[in-house]
Structure 1
Amino acid sequence: MKISIVLLTLIIVNLSTASRILFLFPTPSKSHMIIVHALSTALAEKGHHVTVFSPFPLNKKINNHREFESPIRPELKELFRKFTTGEVSKFKMLFMFPKLGVQLAEDMIYTDDFQRILNERFDMIIIGLTANHFLLGFGEHFNCPTAMLSVQRHSSYTNIPVGNPIEINAVNHAFFPSGSLKNFIHRVQNFLAGVFDILMFAGIDYYEKLAYEKIFPSSRHRSYEESKSNISLVLVNDHFSEGNVRPNLPAVVEIRGIQVKEIPDELPQDIQKFLDDANEGAILFSLGTNFQTAFLSDNFVEMLMKVLSKLKQKVIMKWDSEINEKPENVMIKKWLPQDDILAHKNMKLFISHCGLGGIVESKYHGVTILGLPIFGDQEVNCNEIVSEGWSLQLNLKTITENELQNTINELLHNETYSNKVKKFSQLYQDRPMSPKESAIYWIEYVIRHHGAPHMQYFAVHQNFWQRTSLDVLAFLAICVIASFKLLKFVFKTLLGKLFKSKKTISVSKKTK
């Protein structure tokens, strides 16, 4: 009887503290959702009721976790495909990004599923950063606090809305590896990149404001600026142990590594046996979720297989196209549990496109990387880990058989690389709370304190002149100028009277 009462009490307490949390992530990249789902499923496991809108729902059912699929138009899919294959340049994509993000978000809003949930109650909304700040307007609609989750590193896009310091002089831009501000030229480059970042954000903001005013007209809703200034929390896929130390406000929480499991899931039996039997070690090959291996040339595939066949190590590959002659030491799968595989004791090397997720997982598990960056931020990510000393890089378009074979052997047999990454692994794991625990704590904190306005930086409610103190400087300049002119007038008047007095005395003496 006592046990039943205790259980009933626990159930009542759990129900009373469970919150309803809405995730809005109309992202064109499937890999982004790995980080999002790591958080959303953890919140569901904690007892919260989670609803997720994205183009890439999970293929399994989880208690308290509800998913709705948002559409991606065929022309947007094709555009993103061209970007991943290099047919559309990074520079051109930057100009297309605002319209792309707004279009994806608008298409999500007008689905029947989304229209139905507009009548539901939510305690918090978590929005992904893909040119969709205008979705913050739903915070007012549901009368609940809003948070942003960035699957990328710190940028003006994450910092400006909450007033987080940008510090261009001392914090590396995401374009450059950490520790590159040691000379004047690098600081000039960093400054220009930071200014470009701010201008790009302003351009994106223009499109988002237009979308906001269309969906949330000023006659019935607060302004776009007010919605942005009421963000309660920003979760950023970054961490100071990466080497890029920066000042952060209390409302900005770094969660790099949130998708890494402290206890890996059990691997499928065939993969488990394949890795267990890898007495000489194992290598993981993956070019990510967005890039299709069918895009690779026949010559490259033939060369790659030839090199892998000569290795003593077993190689497990994420590969979505057909291979005519597969070496005996190679296993091919269309999908792989990457984090769980990297956690295996026999893993020696990861041949990767250098997406942020894979880098985090490799660093956490202490596995060296051979980088083959393809598009987006992958080149910068690869440069970063090469500069840290536990990775080497090759060009996917110009790579030769000898280059690939020699680089793999260098990473496998030179312990300098493995020792470096093991030190990083120790540093990476040494935290007071795991990234998942930290994210959940602050989400629950914001909900408990109804948006936690006491944690908000006052600067977000100031205009440009007030934030930069230009109005104060102008006032002080006017005061200084006015004081100078007043003193000048006083001295001029006094001196005039003094000279006049002396002149009068002099004339009087002459008269006598």
Structure 2
Amino acid sequence: MAFALRAVNSNISDKISSPRKNCAQSQFKFIDNFNNVQYEREHCNARTRRRSMVGYVSGASLVFALCLQQVFAANILAVISFTSPSSFILLTPYVKALVLKGHEVTIISAGSQHVADFDGVHHIRVNALNHLIEDFRESCMDLKFPMQKWEEASFVANFFYNSSFHVLNDPGVQSLLQDKSAQFDMVIVETTFTDALYGFAQHFNAPLVGLSICGASWNINYLAGNKAISVYEPIVSSGYSTGFSVLNKIKNWIYITEEWLLEQMIYLPKQLALYKRFFNESAESLHNIRQNFALILINQHFSLGRARSNVPNVIEVAGMHLEQPITELDQELQQFMDEAEHGVIVFSMGTAITGKWFPDKLIEMMLQSFDQLPQRIVLKFDQPLPIKSHKIYLRSTLPQRALLAHPKVKLFITHGGILSIIEAAYSSVPMLCMPLYYDQLGNSKLMEQSGLAQILDFSTMTVESITNSIKEIIENPLYKQNAQQISTRLRDLPMSPLENAVWWTEYVLRHKGAPHMRISMEDMSLIQYYNLDFISVLILRSGVALLIIFCVSLKLVIFLLQRSQFRLTVPILY
């Protein structure tokens, strides 16, 4: 700051001294004419004063700008307990963008190098999370997909309980919590059933920002105070979308009821126990934190086909990870793609499911189907294939975005993960979805209804169904046209999703948590949240009105019956 002020003062002095020299020269040159000399002196003095004022204003502006930079440079804590690569694919560009804005970020995450070290970021690496994700992958091999609702929920609940525990029990995290000098201006967490970690915001008295990798559902609505109608807002694992039938609405309501019961009976009690143990706070404190999210960034966008009503503090940022530069294809893979006369099919089932999970029969069906197609296949698979083919390019890892951006790609066979869906839609690539669990079925259904994908069920697929689906998608131009239409919508934005996310993050910082954007649920019961009080009043009023109508009608009928009987009993006189 002192250096900046010295530079400004030096600049001002130069600007002042130069005009004074000009004034002196003018006086000596025109000394014989007093009036002209007087005019030049006054004119130069005025010009000097103007330049001096400009210099002072410029210096003040510079000082003010430096002060502003200091004011808005925040210290941010990001807690990422779910250690899948997908989480960090979404998180990395977001963190880098915040650092480029002058903020300092501390990340609590797995010990593996998912997020590389760079200036402005401090890591607290929880090594126990590395073993947890490996155990998770091994457990997936023993499961049968698609999973039953309660089986899946119990499996996920245990996983997130363990991840929350490992984070809070880590020595580095405990050291941070016990450091009385540690201060943070914002805490960023995932909104996926790790409620105990919300306590970081309470501990550091900082605004809480949520990052939802799998988009939004009924529980996100509750955290944000977003009063969406439940039957029109399907949970991510149900696979239903807007505009479904009455029967599917009932099924969706049952799913949501199961989720709510599961949250109240399994998720929250476990997370609450961790919260009380590590933060020494009451259940009421956690309840209040859950209802006071300053901002929630959801990884979805209405351009993909599902518009939803959002409160101001829920921001759609699908495609935020697309700001990362695309990795170039190596020479061998580039040549394989370029020389594909009939195009290329890309096959990838994400990072969580490995090749060990696939039964031999399923692999044989896929290979038999690929053998009947003219297209080349780029296959992400970490196991050797029983049959070698010159048409198949096999790798355990692939630069997926670079592949999907290649003009020779005709089809993407995917598990339906949200990041894969976004990347394929952005690159105008039709999809054949084979969903396994959680949000994958819902994502796949959405793409199917948008006209750029088909869905195959692992439990019923055959060689014929695989081949027919692939041919239908590639040969029917409607799939490609629909994909191009959605890609155009995704790209037609006033600012990039990453810029949007950073802008709203800094908005919350500037406005001290931005409480004016929230719809507080603190004083609203579950009955009020679902408008049951209003509905009860309407039912009561309607019931009273119907009762009055019934009573009046009954009396009228009785009166008419009595009158008719009276006429029958009266003798007729002639």
Could you tell me the TM-score, scaled by structure 2's length? 0.74
2:172 to 91, 95, 113: 113
**Which letter maps to 1:131?**
F
The superposition leaves residues 224-252 of structure 1 with CA deviations (integer Å, 9 ceiling, x where unpaired) of: 22222332111112222333322211111
The answer for the alignment partner of 2:452 in structure 1 is 390
The answer for the alignment partner of 1:197 in structure 2 is 259
What pairs with 1:177-192 in structure 2 (closer than 5 Å)? 177-181=240-244, 183-192=245-254
Contact 1:35 1:151 in 2 (8 A): yes
Partner Cα distance (1:473, 1:308) in 2: 56
The superposition leaves residues 24-45 of structure 1 with CA deviations (integer Å, 9 ceiling, x where unpaired) of: 1211533333222342233234
* Inter-CA distance 441–44: structure 2 relative to 1 (3 Å threshold): same
Q: Secondary structure at the match of 2:413?
A: strand
The answer for the alignment partner of 1:31 in structure 2 is 86
Q: Secondary structure at the match of 1:460?
A: coil
Partner Cα distance (1:115, 1:229) in 2: 26
The answer for the alignment partner of 1:43 in structure 2 is 98
The answer for the alignment partner of 1:258 in structure 2 is 320
What pairs with 1:195-234 in structure 2 (closer than 5 Å)? 195-203=257-265, 204-218=267-281, 223-234=285-296
Q: Secondary structure at the match of 2:202?
A: helix
Q: Does the alignment pair 1:358 with 2:407?
A: no
Partner Cα distance (2:452, 2:102) in 1: 40
Partner Cα distance (1:33, 1:124) in 2: 19
Deviation at 1:84, TM superposition (A): 5.6
* Inter-CA distance 244–326: structure 2 relative to 1 (3 Å threshold): same
Q: Secondary structure at the match of 2:97?
A: helix
**Which letter maps to 1:293?**
G
The answer for the alignment partner of 1:62 in structure 2 is 118
Would you tell me which structure has more helix in proportion to its own residues?
2
The superposition leaves residues 369-405 of structure 1 with CA deviations (integer Å, 9 ceiling, x where unpaired) of: 1112223332332233223221122233443333323
- Structure with higher Rg: it is 2
Q: Secondary structure at the match of 1:331?
A: strand
2:439 to 368, 372, 377: 377
**Which letter maps to 1:81?**
E
* Inter-CA distance 326–49: structure 2 relative to 1 (3 Å threshold): farther
What pairs with 1:460-479 in structure 2 (closer than 5 Å)? 460-464=522-526, 467=529
**Which letter maps to 1:177?**
Y
* Inter-CA distance 277–288: structure 2 relative to 1 (3 Å threshold): same
Contact 1:179 1:243 in 2 (8 A): no
* Inter-CA distance 16–335: structure 2 relative to 1 (3 Å threshold): farther
The answer for the alignment partner of 2:135 in structure 1 is 78
Deviation at 1:59, TM superposition (A): 6.0
* Inter-CA distance 193–345: structure 2 relative to 1 (3 Å threshold): same
Partner Cα distance (1:86, 1:32) in 2: 23
Q: Secondary structure at the match of 1:154?
A: coil
What pairs with 1:435-474 in structure 2 (closer than 5 Å)? 435-464=497-526, 467=529
* Inter-CA distance 320–241: structure 2 relative to 1 (3 Å threshold): same
| Cα RMSD, aligned residues only | 3.4
Partner Cα distance (2:533, 2:355) in 1: 57
The answer for the alignment partner of 1:243 in structure 2 is 305
Deviation at 1:475, TM superposition (A): 11
Contact 2:444 2:455 in 1 (8 A): yes
The answer for the alignment partner of 2:491 in structure 1 is 429
* Inter-CA distance 473–265: structure 2 relative to 1 (3 Å threshold): closer
The answer for the alignment partner of 1:295 in structure 2 is 357
Deviation at 1:46, TM superposition (A): 3.5
**Which letter maps to 2:157?**
P
Q: Secondary structure at the match of 2:105?
A: strand
Q: Which moved more, 1:90-99 or 1:245-254?
A: 90-99
Q: Does the alignment pair 1:323 with 2:379?
A: no
Partner Cα distance (1:463, 1:42) in 2: 39
* Inter-CA distance 361–85: structure 2 relative to 1 (3 Å threshold): farther
- % identical equivalent positions: 27
Deviation at 1:12, TM superposition (A): 7.5
The answer for the alignment partner of 2:193 in structure 1 is 131
Q: Secondary structure at the match of 2:215?
A: coil
Partner Cα distance (1:281, 1:147) in 2: 43
The answer for the alignment partner of 2:564 in structure 1 is none
**Which letter maps to 2:482?**
K
Unaligned runs of 5+ residues in structure 1 are 479-512
Unaligned runs of 5+ residues in structure 2 are 9-57, 541-574
Partner Cα distance (1:435, 1:148) in 2: 16
The answer for the alignment partner of 1:335 in structure 2 is 397
Deviation at 1:415, TM superposition (A): 0.9
The answer for the alignment partner of 2:332 in structure 1 is 270
**Which letter maps to 1:43?**
L
Contact 1:84 1:374 in 2 (8 A): no
* Inter-CA distance 350–465: structure 2 relative to 1 (3 Å threshold): closer
**Which letter maps to 1:178?**
S
* Inter-CA distance 278–13: structure 2 relative to 1 (3 Å threshold): farther
Contact 2:137 2:353 in 1 (8 A): no
Contact 1:21 1:51 in 2 (8 A): yes
Partner Cα distance (1:168, 1:465) in 2: 13
Q: Which moved more, 1:130-139 or 1:13-22?
A: 13-22
Q: Secondary structure at the match of 2:320?
A: coil
* Inter-CA distance 243–307: structure 2 relative to 1 (3 Å threshold): closer
**Which letter maps to 1:82?**
S
Contact 1:136 1:146 in 2 (8 A): yes
The superposition leaves residues 34-76 of structure 1 with CA deviations (integer Å, 9 ceiling, x where unpaired) of: 2223422332344332222223542643332343432238577
Q: Secondary structure at the match of 1:105?
A: helix
The answer for the alignment partner of 1:102 in structure 2 is 161
Q: Which moved more, 1:257-266 or 1:46-55?
A: 257-266
**Which letter maps to 2:499?**
E
The superposition leaves residues 82-137 of structure 1 with CA deviations (integer Å, 9 ceiling, x where unpaired) of: 34653484421313433431221121122122233333332211111232112122
The superposition leaves residues 157-179 of structure 1 with CA deviations (integer Å, 9 ceiling, x where unpaired) of: 21112211131244344313323
Contact 2:303 2:489 in 1 (8 A): yes
* Inter-CA distance 302–30: structure 2 relative to 1 (3 Å threshold): same
Partner Cα distance (1:73, 1:434) in 2: 33
* Inter-CA distance 272–40: structure 2 relative to 1 (3 Å threshold): farther
Partner Cα distance (2:417, 2:390) in 1: 28
Contact 1:86 1:375 in 2 (8 A): no
Deviation at 1:201, TM superposition (A): 2.9
* Inter-CA distance 292–173: structure 2 relative to 1 (3 Å threshold): closer
Partner Cα distance (2:367, 2:536) in 1: 68
